[in-house]
Amino acid sequence: MPVSVAEWLKPFQGVSLDDRKHAEILAECQLMHLADAYVFFMRCWQRGEAGALVRGIQVLEALSGLGWISTEEAAAWRAHWIGRLQHHYPSAEDFLAALALSDVASAPLKAWAQERVEADFPDWMAEIEAVSEAPLQVRKTPLGYALAARASSFPIFQQALDDPQRLRQAFWPDVEATLQEYWQVDSAETCRQLLYWLAGQGQRYAWQLDHQWLQEASAEERQTWQEELPDGMEGYAEQMLNALALPELDIGAWDWVRMADLALAGYMAGYLSASEWRSFALVALWLLRRRYASWEAIHQSYLLGYRFWRTQSQLNLSPEIEESWQLLLEVAFSPQRQLNWQALEVDHPDFRDALQLFSAGLEAGPLLVSLLASVRDDACVLTGLGSELPEEREQEAKEFLLAHLEVDLEEGLRNALTRFWQPGRVHHYDQLALNCRTGVAPSLPANLGAVAEVWQAWHQQQPLLAGLVQHPAAIVMAEKYAFYLLKAQESGLFASSEVEHLTLAIQDYLSWHYPKAESLLAAWQAWDEVLCLQGDERPLAAELAWHRQDPGSLFHFVDWKRPPARLVEPGRPVSETELALLNLVGPLTGIHWSWPERLPSEPAQELRQLLQETHLFHSPEDLKDYLQHLYAAGDRQEYLVAFSIFTLHPERLDQELELQEQDEARDEEQETYYQRLLRVKHNTLGVNDVDLCAWDLVQLIDLAVAGYQLGWLNQQELAEWLEKTQQLLTRSYHGWSDFAGALLAGYNFFMNEGPQRGELLEVFSQRLLGLLIAVPPQAGLWSTLHWPGAPARRWQDTSHSHLPPKKRLH
């Protein structure tokens, strides 16, 4: 409720008559605070009409009389006002005539002006020239510029800044209510969170990404985007589509000016200390100075952002705000007219101190994880800043973990996320880049060829991958793990100590691989561009480019730790030999990027049922017996006993084939026998020239891993089967190409007959080819894994993230 004139004048009842008159003047104009008077001056100045200008001079004298402004400041203001009168009215007669016709000046005001002219300005021109030309004093320091940057709300010129309560009373008495209503800020914590958000992301992030995407989108895509916007966003859509003619949507000032404004408001409300307010305000100014070359550019950016916000806001916005911003560039008493923007030094010592304090206020571990996750979901950054999460976001995180990731809550957080820690993926990409840089070409077996299109794709990706050798691929794995970890934190399902432990482990891991956050972003962007060319994931190029280019992104401010002396990874380490043996099954059941995981109850039940149906396994003993059979004899024994003899006696093979062909009523088993005779006769895929134990070893590893996932084998037992497999493998084969040729021949020979046989063989062959030739790069793990038992690589041929053959070195 507005304060009545009578109530406002009560404190002046016992003071002098002059003071009461000054108070009456301010009360009549409803100027309860100094900030109101400054805005009043701007409006009077803009009108330029005689009555408005006289009213401004009268208010100025009242402010000076009440001691609201100093004598020096009043003299500087008076010079500006009288100078504007002289500009509009060259003589006293012109002025008084215009004043008489004014419809905004009351009779008492006209009488006051007549009296002043007659008493103080009998010689109009001479008196005007005699008026003090003292400039309005403003701070020439960075803090003065920061105050000027947010002067559209209310300017503070030479006010003492050491008493927030006095500033609050004079400039913003309802600051706490305003912060609560418009910003949802009600504490020091929420104030700081919002300041960091405005600096690092603000509203510009989503709007600028929308703008960039729409510029490249088709008409149909734009129409779909518009239709899918929530209700009430029609104005935003129209504003955005109209802005597509702009090369970029430059609205950074909208966030950073408000950041300076919020910092001062937080100081006045008692949420921030003087040093905190100063630091946040100076960081906002530093960002503006980094981005904009003039006050005019700041104004344009701010007002563009304001117009976008107005299309989304249900608030009652001030209609004069755009006029106020324009006035700041025009009126002589504006601090922006008196502070040379180009004279502000970006490397000023005040900025260095403020930036250091700004960075120190960020908790590096939690923030880094939330920043990584925010590239995929921009709201994640608030989690890292300690923001209290709304209930619906917590529920979304729970559904994501339980339904999408199938996390088992009984495992504990580390075990629940262990399958997403994939050191093999990092090793593969780093080694692949090095192979391409050094010209290592894939070796293919004689029975597996690549069509011209595959070789063309391989040649095209070589220079792209070779260029990535300078960018460690650790971020390819770590960013996804960080996203899942943050969702676990948001869900509230796990102890904070577990989240903190893994958060710090990720921070250690990334600081081990990257000297600073900019190196991490550069590597992330480089790998994303190459991998998304032949993958099905959504590219993050636009988001990553935004973070690299925007000076406010918190990636530039996060406190980067020195590499740890000893690295403890969030997931289980795996050696290169273990990884190579586990991935013998690559063409059969897919790639293992890490040590296998125990399956949750529901997937475990499905796997147990599958093993019962396909292998008649009902217990761990059944599995272990069959693993021993595969190791000792397997399917290869059938070839040796029933078919190898025919390779020595071709005439006997012909006789056997003739006998089988005469039987037109062959059952399924006889048909399989007949087809295998044909493959021996034609030496299909070199079946007679290779050791077929490759097929048995692949089955052995596949079933051993399944047994471990079900809990039928423990970790030691799985490791022992890997070691046994390695012994037999290295006795029989000399490299991946040799093994691949034998596996293809064995798979083809032992595959059951059926209508889909040709299709299955083609799929298997393509998987083998992908593993060996790395087209696409994500599929080529065999091309980068060192063959078990082969001589160790030279150090020049080993990537910096090379997995040791036996155990971790750190």
Q: 292 or 791, which is more confident?
A: 292
- Does the CA dihedral 44-46-49-53 come out positive or negative? positive
Residue that has been written with the tokens 């007669």 in this structure: 93
Instruction: With cut-offs at 50, 70 and 90, classify the pLDDT of residue 810.
Output: very low
User: Which residues fall within 8 angstroms of residue 773, CB to CB, at 6 or more apart?
Assistant: 442, 444, 450, 454, 458, 780, 783
* Whether residue 776 has a cis bond before it, omega within 30° of 0: yes
CB of 269 closer than 8 Å to CB of 301: no
Say how far apart CA 719 and CA 702 lie, in whole Å: 13
Structure tokens at 507: 């921070």
Mean pLDDT along residues 535-555: 92
Percentage of residues in the chain having pLDDT higher than 70: 93
Say how far apart CA 696 and CA 690 lie, in whole Å: 13
pLDDT of residue 469: 95
Q: What is the DSSP letter of 563?
A: P
Q: Could you report the per-residue pLDDT of 472-508, keeping only the tens digit for each? A: 999 999 999 999 999 999 999 999 999 999 999 999 9
Instruction: With cut-offs at 50, 70 and 90, classify the pLDDT of residue 327.
Output: confident
Instruction: With cut-offs at 50, 70 and 90, classify the pLDDT of residue 668.
Output: confident
Q: Could you report the per-residue pLDDT of 365-399, keeping only the tens digit for each? A: 789 999 999 999 999 998 988 878 889 999 999 99
User: In the predicted model, is pLDDT for residue 529 greater than 80?
Assistant: yes
* Helix axes 107-120 and 50-66, enclosed angle (nearest 10): 80
CB of 378 closer than 8 Å to CB of 205: yes
User: In the predicted model, is pLDDT for residue 142 greater than 50?
Assistant: yes
CA distances from 163 to 10, 167, 169, 276, 357 (A): 25, 6, 10, 14, 22
Say how far apart CA 2 and CA 761 lie, in whole Å: 84
CB of 462 closer than 8 Å to CB of 436: yes
Please state, rounded to an integer, the average pLDDT across all residues of the chain: 89
pLDDT of residue 190: 93
SS (H, E, C) 442-460: CCCCCCCCCCHHHHHHHHH
Say how far apart CA 264 and CA 156 lie, in whole Å: 11
Nearest alpha carbon to residue 193 among 118, 262, 146, 140: 262
Instruction: With cut-offs at 50, 70 and 90, classify the pLDDT of residue 805.
Output: low
pLDDT of residue 603: 85
Nearest alpha carbon to residue 147 among 277, 291, 318, 303: 277
Say how far apart CA 704 and CA 151 lie, in whole Å: 71
CB of 77 closer than 8 Å to CB of 60: yes
pLDDT of residue 804: 67
Instruction: With cut-offs at 50, 70 and 90, classify the pLDDT of residue 107.
Output: confident
pLDDT of residue 81: 83
Mean pLDDT along residues 640-655: 92
Burial of 452 (0-12, 13-18, 19+ CB in 10 A): exposed
User: Which residues fall within 8 angstroms of residue 368, CB to CB, at 6 or more apart?
Assistant: 384, 482, 503, 506, 507, 510, 517, 558
Burial 496-535 (b: 16+ CB within 10 A, else e): eebbeebbbbbbbbbbbbbeebebbbbbbbbbbbbbeeee
pLDDT of residue 791: 72
CA distances from 364 to 39, 555, 776 (A): 42, 10, 36
Q: What share of the chain is helix, strand, coil (3-state, %, to 5)?
A: 70, 0, 30
Q: Could you report the per-residue pLDDT of 282-302, keeping only the tens digit for each? A: 999 999 999 999 999 999 999
Q: Could you report the per-residue pLDDT of 11-64, keeping only the tens digit for each? A: 666 667 778 888 888 988 889 888 888 888 888 888 888 888 889 989 999 999
Mean pLDDT along residues 634-662: 92
User: In the predicted model, is pLDDT for residue 536 greater than 80?
Assistant: no
CB of 800 closer than 8 Å to CB of 426: no
User: In the predicted model, is pLDDT for residue 318 greater than 50?
Assistant: yes
Residue that has been written with the tokens 């070409």 in this structure: 441
Q: What is the DSSP letter of 779?
A: G
User: In the predicted model, is pLDDT for residue 127 greater than 70?
Assistant: no
Say how far apart CA 144 and CA 553 lie, in whole Å: 25
pLDDT of residue 10: 67
CA distances from 358 to 131, 258, 383 (A): 45, 17, 18
Q: Could you report the per-residue pLDDT of 600-611, keeping only the tens digit for each? A: 788 899 999 999
Say how far apart CA 135 and CA 529 lie, in whole Å: 56
DSSP calls for 503-544: HHHHHHHHHHH-SSHHHHHHHHHHHHHHHTTSSSSPP-HHHH
Burial of 696 (0-12, 13-18, 19+ CB in 10 A): buried
Instruction: With cut-offs at 50, 70 and 90, classify the pLDDT of residue 1.
Output: very low
User: In the predicted model, is pLDDT for residue 128 greater than 60?
Assistant: no
User: In the predicted model, is pLDDT for residue 129 greater than 80?
Assistant: no
Percentage of residues in the chain having pLDDT higher than 90: 63
Instruction: With cut-offs at 50, 70 and 90, classify the pLDDT of residue 331.
Output: confident
Q: Which helix (H) or strand (E) holds 736?
A: helix 736-750
Q: 675 or 572, which is more confident?
A: 675
Q: What are phi and psi of 102, to 5 degrees?
A: -70, 135
CB of 279 closer than 8 Å to CB of 239: no
pLDDT of residue 298: 96
Say how far apart CA 310 and CA 239 lie, in whole Å: 10
Residue ranges covered by each domain of the chain: 5-130, 142-203+251-360, 576-797
Structure tokens at 90: 């060259």
Lowest mean pLDDT among 581-585, 627-631, 720-724, 787-791: 787-791
